[in-house]
Amino acid sequence: MRKLGVALGAILVSLFSLFGGAAAHAATGRHVILYYQTQYDNGQYVSPLDLTSHQTGTTDVVVGAVHLDSNSVVHLNDDPPDSARYTQMWTDLHAMQQQGVRVSAMVGGAAQGSFQRLDTDFATYYPLLRDLVRTYGLDGVDLDVEESMSLTGLERVIDALRADFGSGFIVTLAPVATELSGGGGLSGIDYDALYRDKGDEISWFNAQLYCGWGSLNSTADYDAIISHGVVPASKVVAGTLTNPANCGSGYVDLNTLKSTLGQLVQSYPDFAGVDGWEYFNSLPGGTSAPWQWAAEVSSVL
């Protein structure tokens, strides 16, 4: 296992210093976000470039998943971020940034350990995350806390990202929907307290309305978040599945999803938008044309 390559990092820093930061200042509005974790499908590279070449209206791509592993090692899925298997991916994501699409890194998710390490050994593990952002010219970080972490520890990470990267940097979180509507979830974090403390520093939440934590087959679960009265609609992106194969439950067919999104647009003029988990097999196009999902939901927003 290797740490981030110094030589590659130096090259990418020089490239991204020219282009990477500009997308962070793109015009605000409703988000159309794709999570991009499966970069290889049956051994074949899955490029995200169709999202821009087909003018789908995608605003953000969240590449994942970043893991801060033991012995101060960073992985993107199962490999170091500077692995040759990711060279084309970073090139493609950089090209999308030039087209105005913002690129964030998803940290954590179902794999355990990253946030426990940030919580208990911040001085060792936060610099690894900071250096990843700098090396690859990322526009943001998506903190997907699906393990136990203290509120103090999470707020420390948010504060450090803001201090290092400024107000234009995207800092998002990806709680399950019930964590934003007053119920429990996967992290033990009190999201009401987090928003009261750090709401101004959080760009938005990519709320998981799937896998048993909510649904977009109607507006009810999104409405529950807003009626809870803590986080406004302008900071709640509705997360959904793009394919039933991507989780055990919670997939909403595209026609129903578009109807729900249309109702949310009508109900909440400042509705923040939608994100899809995940890109590579998004319906209706499937693996041959996954970009179609983004185009379809953009037409509603």
CA distance 146 to 143: 9
- pLDDT in the model for residue 196: 98
- pLDDT in the model for residue 1: 35
Per residue in 224-265, pLDDT (tens digit) is: 999 999 999 999 999 999 999 999 789 999 999 999 999 999
Q: What CATH code is carried by the domain that includes residue 123?
A: 3.20.20.80
Residue type, 158: I
- Percentages helix, strand, coil for the chain (3-state, rounded to 5) are 45, 20, 35
Instruction: Evaluate whether residue 291 is within a structural domain.
Output: no
Per the omega criterion (within 30 degrees of 0), is the bond before 284 cis? yes
Instruction: Evaluate whether residue 214 is within a structural domain.
Output: yes
Per residue in 88-142, pLDDT (tens digit) is: 999 999 999 999 999 999 999 988 999 999 999 999 999 999 999 999 999 999 9
H helix or E strand, kind and range, residue 275? strand 273-277
Residue type, 22: A
Ordered DSSP codes for 189-204: --HHHHHHHHGGG--E
- Would you give the DSSP letter of residue 84? G
Residue 31 near residue 272, CB atoms below 8 Å: yes
- pLDDT in the model for residue 18: 37
- pLDDT in the model for residue 29: 79
- Which residue, among 91, 197, 105, 110, has the nearest Cα to 150 in the 3D structure? 197
Instruction: Evaluate whether residue 86 is within a structural domain.
Output: yes
Q: What percent of the chain has pLDDT over 90?
A: 88
CA dihedral 146, 232, 106, 113 (to 10 degrees): -20
Q: What's CA 148's distance to the chain center, in Å?
A: 19
Instruction: Evaluate whether residue 301 is within a structural domain.
Output: no
User: How much is the pTM?
Assistant: 0.90
Strand partners, 105: 63, 141
Task: Tell me the pLDDT of the chain averaged across its residues.
Answer: 92
Instruction: Evaluate whether residue 131 is within a structural domain.
Output: yes
Per residue in 8-65, pLDDT (tens digit) is: 443 343 343 333 333 332 334 799 999 999 999 999 999 999 999 999 999 999 999 9
Domain count of the fold of the chain: 1
Question: Tokens 């993107």 appear where?
Answer: 76
- pLDDT in the model for residue 91: 98
- pLDDT in the model for residue 203: 98
CA distance 28 to 45: 31
- Which residue, among 135, 120, 24, 12, has the nearest Cα to 68 in the 3D structure? 120
**Residue 102 lies in domain:** 6-60+68-282
- Give the range among 22-26, 170-174, 198-202, 262-266 with minimum mean pLDDT: 22-26
- Residue 249 vs residues 82, 149, 237, 300: alpha-carbon distances, Å: 34, 26, 19, 24
Q: Is residue 207 exposed (0-12), middle (13-18) or buried (19+ Cβ within 10 Å)?
A: buried
Instruction: Evaluate whether residue 254 is within a structural domain.
Output: yes
Instruction: Evaluate whether residue 144 is within a structural domain.
Output: yes
- pLDDT in the model for residue 248: 76
Q: Is residue 155 exposed (0-12), middle (13-18) or buried (19+ Cβ within 10 Å)?
A: middle
Residue 32 near residue 57, CB atoms below 8 Å: yes
